[in-house]
Structure 1
Amino acid sequence: MRSAVIGFVLGVAFLQTRASLPAVWQLCGLLLLALLPAVAAYKIPDPCLKYACFKSAANMLAGALFGMAWAALFAQYYLRHELPAAWEGRDITVIGTIDSLPSHSESGARFIFAVEKVLDQDGVSPIVPKRLALFWDQTAGQALPVQVQPGARWQLSVRLKRPHGNANPHGFDYEAWLLERNLRATGYVRSDQKPELQNRQLQAFVFSPGNLIEVLRSRLRERILQALPEHRYAGVLVALAVGDQNAIDQSDWEVFNRTGISHLVAISGLHITMIAGMFAAIMAALWRRSFFTKAALPLLLPAQKVAALSGALAALCYVLLAGFGIPAQRTLYMLLTVALALWSGRITSVSHVLCAALAVVLLVDPWALLWPGFWLSFCAVGVILYASVGRSLAVAAEGKSRVARSLGVLKMAGATQYAVTIGLLPLTALLFGQVSLIGPLANALAIPLVGQVVTPLTLFASVLPAPLSTWLWRGAHALIEQLAVFLNWLSALPFAVWQAALPQAWTFGLALLATIWLLAPRGWPLRWLALAGWLPLLLDNGSRPGAGEMWVTALDVGQGMAVLIETADHRLLYDSGPAYSPESDAGSRVIIPYLRARGITGLDALVVSHNHDDHSGGALSIMNSVKVNAVYSSLPLEHPIVRAAADHRRCLDGQDWQWGGMKFNMLYPDLDHYSAREAALAASRKHDARNSHNPNTDSCTLKITYGEHAILLPGDVETAQEMKLIASHAGQLKADVLLAPHHGSGTSSTAAFLAEVDPQIAMFQVGYRNRFRHPQRQVLERYQALGIETLRNDQDGAIMLKFGASITAGTYREQHRRYWYGR
């Protein structure tokens, strides 16, 4: 069975790396082929050791073929509900129910909408998926998002698009996340168009088991927040109770991540397991004592089976309270598998139970292995088994004093924590590119405090009336508050986190072998020497341009700009992407994860071209996360970015500098432009008039030359600035690569400017179906008529250029093709 499950996992994993899905007839062929090795393995008798290897190989092959077919069938079914391209960006009126706990923020509310009916549009019936991921802006329509409650039936006018996310190396795959949840369209609620199509609530609550659970979660969230007004960590208690993490401040998340306890600040597998174990232990103790009656219940049903059933039911209730999220489901399936094995009395070995749980998880969710939580969960269990089964970790309790028993428990807990910390180190480095060095110390305090005290208190308070519930929640908050003081102190330590690039395959494999060696039983020779196997992983600086190379990466940040320029020794970032909302920006969501994955801990320079959010939105996040030696910008001197910069320099025509083989020339703005801008701003303030200055006209225009090749980065310059550049720098604008001015707007990329630059490649940094309709069709046709190769973030994902003897171009979506991208 174990070899078949391993093959099944390999088959599912292989399918998730494919650029396209097999046809239906090919899937049928795979299922038939899977029967052949399965039958062959079945015919070999178990005692026949001569053919044992052949039997295992046949089982593994059968499992792999079945895994490929199973995952493909799942994908075929989910993808068939895709929103047709013809209905993207069109107003559609739908009737349905709020199918999730709405996530509220300053910018609006996000929720899942279950479609029941689609109204005809001009006599045509739109084709709409059954489940939509929607956003309702604070100012959209007549109803505010705060009135949106789970289980309510609404009529909404929406504008939809097919699933799309930013596509960057080492970035979060939003499109795979949507596919796993069967969300085949995203969109936003439109303002009311016609009286008969206005957004309105039709029914306050539509009964269904799912809606009832979501309403209970919503009311519990409101109770906690009302009981703890102005309490900083109230959001942590909400996360522990109902799984909603939106009320936790971003700065607190940074501390939790640095100290390695972020898995505790949510309904994680650890919490579910602890609550299930606690409930199982209580029920077993009561059952053995027959609830203090003379019923002799253990004679009717063994206490072990009652404990297994009780723990499984407690886990199910807690997962339902968490909204039945995908990570929580994985833990539930594992616990149910273990409970079933205990109940049936068919536990042959722990490895059999673990493999059974693994098979159940992937049967229900073939995309589970795309996410870090899957690997961390199963690998943690695997490490504990490897480091404990067959070894004596604690002294037997019989005949020992209470102190001795407590010391034995602590010894066993310490050994387990040590094994998990050491065992998961290579995997943590592979998944996150960093290791929390103070994580074991932080977890040693946080795991028992949060898992065995704070979480039970929070849940117990949930079923009590006020003011008892309020007192318990305040007590739990006080414990979290004191824990946070300790965590903040740990996080501030200079050695708190070891940062490294994501490891290469060989360094990861070597570290994995070293870890297995280090955790081997006592008596294995030279176990300490295994530490040397970690060195290549921990000291890996990541990929770097070679001698004579310059790399240019135009990151996919949506409707905004962010271009990273690198040589072996220097790095410059031109613009920092947009601010997506008051809570997030391209710096924290895209750029910093990419830099960390590459092992880049500092920038020689950051250029913020001008004062628009789609160019400056992520700058502060970047400056708070990595060292930035110098900031070049055209921003006003009172701007927060200027104030935060350790070394700020105003972009000015005539600036030039050189880093190794890279030559930098700032071509715009000049002193006259700044003088005119200040005069215009002073005049508007004097007459109390509206500021009509267009920040696009301030765009820092930078030319970078490397060897015989050059790239021109003009920001959002418009026609007047292009003409000024031609007049003041005639003959100096020629470049092989051009970052399309103003994202391909109709106000830029004039024929004269393109003729002067004469690029081979043009990069358009635009968001998918952006509201400005960039790039404009006539502009794109202008580039194509001149034979200029056009690359676009919305279609191609991140754009990677390598400058050497020649220029080679690649895109992330082409190099990392997956069947769910649908391009």
Structure 2
Amino acid sequence: MRAYILAFAFGVGLLQQQAELPDLLWAWLLVPGSVGAFLLWRCRVAIFSITAKILLALIFLGAGLFWAAAFAQWRLADALPHEWEGRDIQLAGVVAELPQANENGLRFAFDVEQVLTEGAIVPRRISLAWYNERRKYAENSVSVLPRINAGERWRITVRLKRPRGSVNPHGFDFEEWALERNIRATGYVRKADDNLRLDAMVNQPSYRVERLRQEIREHFIQALPDHAYTGVLIALAVGDQRAILGGQWQIFTRTGVNHLMSISGLHVTMVSGLIFALVYGLWRRSHRLALWLPARKAAVIAGLAAAFGYALLAGFAVPAQRTVYMLAAIALALWLGRFASATAVLAWALLIVVVLDPWAVLSPGFWLSFGAMAFIMLVTAGRIGKMHWLSGWARVQWAITLSLIPLLLAMFQQVSLVSPFANAIAVPLVSLVVVPLTLLATLPLLDFMLLPAHVVLSGCMEMLRWMSDVPQAVWSQHAPPAWAVAAGMAGIVWMLLPGGLGLGLRGGPGLATGFPARWLGAVALLPIFLVLPPKPAPGELWLTVLDVGQGLAVVARTENHALLFDTGPAFSTEADSGNRAIVPFLRGEGIRHLDAMIVTHADSDHSGGALSVLEAVPVEWLVSSLHADHPIQLAASNKRQCRAGQSWQWDGVRFDMLHPTEQSYSNPKRGTNALSCVLKITTIHGSVLLPADIEKSSEYQLIENDGNALSSTVLVAPHHGSKTSSTGEFVRQVNPRLVIFTVGYRNRFGHPREEVMERYRALGSTLLRSDNDGAVLLRFADSKVAVETLRALRRRYWQDT
């Protein structure tokens, strides 16, 4: 049965890679296939039996595919119509999840119960932001925001749009994330006098749980108001990982213990085992209770209930789900008095996860949690011979560390080298001390447990901080190809097979010498590190216009050099285009350092990610028009001002700075857009002009100074297609074959303007937009410019068109 479960899960995963959903009518083919498999199996002929098993595996694969397709069609049908995007809609509904506070206000999930605006169609679950309102009282300006609690019913006026995210190589897919969580529209609450709380609490179990999570979070904040790691304790208690500060997450990531700072399977198992042992020990002391129900069965029920309750309190993430389902399978086996193999338990847990959440296969947590459990079973289940508990623990840690290397490099392009040592310290302290004390503190009258939990956590954090500061704590590299990851995983399996005297497989004789030449598994790991991504040939230019919403970020690569032109916008104090899009792209493509970073001007949609890039990637020199006291200038070690006339060559590719002039800096009346650095890159295969946010006056100045230099094959439209730029004279002078508009979906400025696009169309230019096309990949090679867009290249059925 395990093979058929794997086939079903493979079918679910196969569906998630499709650009379009299949017609569910094809699912009827599974019926005659099932009948055929049954008839072949009934023949009792060996070859027919094998054929039946193969056919049955294909049927399970198809069942998984069509099960996921049916889920997807049902969820996609609950959509916000395009005609209702950006319009005021009045709704009544319930705050469905734990509200998340940020510097701009609150964000929360909202279950729509009633659409009060006539004719409007709204999905059942949406994500809303309620922004701070600034009101002035006397001489002070204060923020006014109503208190929002999980489980409350509200009547509010909102503006919505369909889920839309940036699409970049090696980047996060927001649209897939929203679909998995059934968030079918996003938006914000409009300021309105009739926004009103209708009920303080809606009496439904799911809302009660969310209110409890919020109350625990607030109680922890009140109990430890100024303590450094209150957010970590909140995350361990209720799964609110956003309570952990960005700097702390960096320590956890660099030391490889970030799995402990969520409600991991280890924590759930520990809580379940503790309750099991407690109930078993007490129940067996009562003869009346033991006669009514055996102590083991009572303990099974209590342990499983504790695991489910803790996982529910933590938001029921994939690792917690996997653990609960595995414990449920074990509990069922104990209840029935039957033995259940470890692999069978894991397989049934896998089936339950993908049946209830077909999009779980896209989550890194799915692969990391199931992968870790599979390798733990590989080195523990079915082995014979006694082993000291310390040796067994070391073997498990070695298996986990080794087995996750290919997955971590494939998904995150980095792996912690100090992880084995950090986990050796953090696992016992966090799982056996901090988590129990934290959970006890959630009970009435036991909140004093928070202080010792924080003290132990602080000591652990000091050790982790020291390890994190080790210069080579993290190995970072390019994203390996899929075949190299598969080969590496196979090699690790071979390395971890039994290899010593007295070890064997359950049900068979012990192997005197174990499996031979296990060291060959290390050879299979080498392609992960040695197979490098392709790079431009001499004289070629590879240009990637990243999708950063309403902003600009362009990466230009030659054979041996890399340049970043602008860094996109900042989204919050801890999230920006640098750490969300640019750094993952650079790391995934194997770009270990930047020879130059150009920040064209001070506007936040062009400079917002610069500090994150400077922190994560070595930058040889910074070129900008920023003031000397700007934080970006202060963070850079080697910097210079961009000026017209600067030029250099890399690997047969020429770079020319066309703007601003010396006089531009001396004019105090010029705004930041007028100081935008304008760069032209020229190859023998074509050229590209990057004018940032210049406007009409700067365009006229460029034409006057050297109009012939403007002619280019590709143009990234100035100022995102604003009506204050792209004058007719400038457009004709550049005469581009391809124009790229870097704009955010339904941006409030209305960029790009229709009249601007019409000027380029009149010249016969091809137009691309980052909000519609995602990142644009350009290769200047072979006397032409090859163009690909990531939304077309990596099309998935959930992406909005």
TM over 0.5: yes
Unaligned runs of 5+ in 2: 136-141, 500-513
State the TM-score, normalizing by the size of structure 2: 0.94
2:339 & 2:761 partners in 1: Cα distance?
67
Amino acid at match of 2:676: S
Residue 726 of structure 1 and its aligned partner are, at CA, apart by 0.4
CA distance in 2, matches of 1:421, 1:381: 12
Are the aligned partners of 1:457 and 1:476 in contact in 2 as well (CA < 8 Å)?
Answer: yes
Paired residues of 2:538 and 2:651 also in contact (CA < 8 A): no
1:601/1:627 contact within 8 Å kept: yes
- Find the counterpart in structure 2 of residue 247 from structure 1: 243
Cα distance, 1:160 vs. partner?
0.3
Give the structure 2 partner of residue 180 of structure 1: 180
CA contact (8 A) 1:603 1:626 kept: yes
Tell me the distance in 2 between the aligned counterparts of 1:75 and 1:785.
41
Aligned to 1:463: 443
1:326 to partner: Cα distance:
4.9
1:530/1:326 CA distance change after superposition, 3 Å: closer
Could you say which residue in structure 2 is the equivalent of 1:74?
71
Q: What pairs up with 1:75-224 in 2 under 5 angstroms?
A: 75-120=72-117, 124-139=118-133, 144-145=144-145, 147-192=147-192, 195=193, 198-224=194-220
Q: Secondary structure, in 3 states, of the residue corresponding to 2:243?
A: coil
Specify which of 291, 299, 310 is matched with residue 307 of structure 1.
Answer: 299
Q: Which amino acid aligns with 2:169?
A: P
CA offsets 1:22-66 (integer angstroms, 9 cap, x no match): 224234x24435524553465365xx6555532331221110111
In 2: Cα distance, 1:513 partner to 1:330 partner? 23
1:518-597 pair list within 5 angstroms: 518-522=495-499, 523-597=514-588
Unaligned runs of 5+ in 1: 396-407, 681-692
Of residues 276, 281, 284, the one that matches 1:280 is 276
Change in CA separation of 1:94 and 1:319 when aligned onto 2, cut-off 3 Å:
same
Q: Distance in 2 between matches of 1:215 and 1:793?
A: 40
So what's the TM-score if we normalise by structure 1?
A: 0.92
Q: 2:418 aligns with which of 438, 452, 473?
A: 438
**CA separation of 1:272 and 1:816: change in aligned 2, threshold 3 A:** same
Q: Is the contact made by 1:607 and 1:631 (CA closer than 8 Å) also made in structure 2?
A: yes
Q: In 1, are the aligned partners of 2:307 and 2:324 still within 8 Å (CA)?
A: yes
Aligned residue in 2 for 1:657 = 648
Question: Which residue of 600, 621, 624 corresponds with 1:630?
Answer: 621
Matches within 5 A, 1:150-549: 150-192=150-192, 195=193, 198-287=194-283, 290=284, 292-295=285-288, 297=290, 300-392=292-384, 394-395=386-387, 408-465=388-445, 468-469=446-447, 471-522=448-499, 523-549=514-540
| Contact 1:41-1:58 within 8 A present in 2 as well | no
Which residue of structure 2 aligns with residue 602 of structure 1? 593
Letter in 1 for 2:585: Y
**Matched residues, percent identical?**
46
Cα distance in 1 for residues equivalent to 2:708 and 2:317: 59
| Change in CA separation of 1:258 and 1:787 when aligned onto 2, cut-off 3 Å | same
Q: 1:394 to 1:453 in 2, by over 3 A?
A: farther
Secondary structure of the corresponding residue to residue 534 of structure 2: coil
C-alpha distance in 1 between matches for 2:402 and 2:385: 17
Work out the CA distance in 2 between the residues paired with 1:238 and 1:37: 55
The CA deviation at 1:103 is 0.4
Whether contact under 8 Å (2:24, 2:69) holds in the other structure is no
Is 1:722 matched with 2:699?
Answer: yes
- Aligned 1:757-772 pairs, distance under 5 A: 757-772=734-749
By how many angstroms is 1:510 displaced?
2.6
Question: Partners of 2:775 and 2:558 in 1: how far apart?
Answer: 18
Which runs of structure 2 are paired with 1:638-657 in the superposition (5 Å)? 638-657=629-648
* Matched letter for residue 669 of structure 1: P
Contact 1:653 1:668 in 2 (8 A): yes
User: Which residue does the alignment assign to 2:138?
Assistant: none
Query: Which of these residues, 789, 792, 797, is aligned with residue 811 of structure 1?
Result: 789
Q: Hey, what's the Cα distance between the residues in 1 that align with 2:735 and 2:459?
A: 62
C-alpha distance in 1 between matches for 2:332 and 2:316:
20
Q: Partners in 2 of 1:508 and 1:812 — Cα distance? A: 23
Which has the higher mean CA deviation after the structures are superposed, 809-818 or 425-434?
Answer: 425-434
Q: 1:526 to 1:24 in 2, by over 3 A?
A: closer
Alignment partner, residue 687 of structure 1: none
Between the aligned partners of 1:19 and 1:325, the Cα distance in structure 2 is 27
Relative to 1, partners in 2 of residues 1:268 and 1:145: Cα closer, same or farther, differing over 3 Å? farther
Is the 8 Å Cα contact of residues 102 and 148 (structure 1) preserved in structure 2? yes
Structure 1 residue identity aligned to 2:157: S
Q: Secondary structure at the match of 1:558?
A: coil
Query: Alignment partner for residue 713 of structure 1, among 675, 690, 699?
Result: 690
**Alpha-carbon offset, residue 459 of structure 1:** 0.5
Conserved 8 A contact 2:685-2:785: no
CA distance in 2 between counterparts of 1:243 and 1:715 reads: 42
Task: State the alpha-carbon separation in 1 of the partners of residues 296 and 38 from structure 2.
Answer: 37
Q: Decide which moves more: 345-354 or 627-636.
A: 345-354
User: Within the alignment, does 1:32 sit opposite 2:31 as a pair?
Assistant: yes
Aligned mates of 1:41, 1:355 — CA distance in 2: 26
- Contact 2:164–2:800 (Cα < 8 Å) also in 1: no
Distance in 2 (CA, whole Å) between partners of 1:389 and 1:436 is 27
| Per-residue Cα deviation, 1:520-579 (whole angstroms, up to 9, x for no partner) | 111322323432332221244433223442111111111100000012211000000100
Q: Structure 1 residues 348 and 98 mapped into 2: Cα distance closer, same or farther (>3 Å)?
A: closer
Distance 1:270 1:44, change over 3 A: farther
Q: Determine the C-alpha separation between the residues in 2 that align with 1:33 and 1:777.
A: 55
Change (3 A) 1:53 1:304: farther
Aligned residues of 1:718 and 1:747 also touching (Cα < 8 A): yes
Residue pair 1:114, 1:130 contacting (<8 A) in 2 also: yes
Q: CA deviation at 1:325?
A: 4.0
- Counterparts of 2:438 and 2:581, CA distance in 1: 34
> CA distance change for structure 1 residues 26 and 529 in 2, over 3 Å: closer, same or farther?
closer
CA distance in 2, matches of 1:301, 1:203: 43
Pick closer, same or farther for the CA change 1:136–1:238 going to 2, 3 Å. same
SS of the counterpart of 1:527?
coil
CA shift, 1:369, in A, is 0.3
Q: Which residue of 1 aligns with 2:42?
A: 43
Aligned residues: 780
How far off is 1:363 after superposition? 0.7
Alpha-carbon distance in 2 for matches of 1:439, 1:154: 46
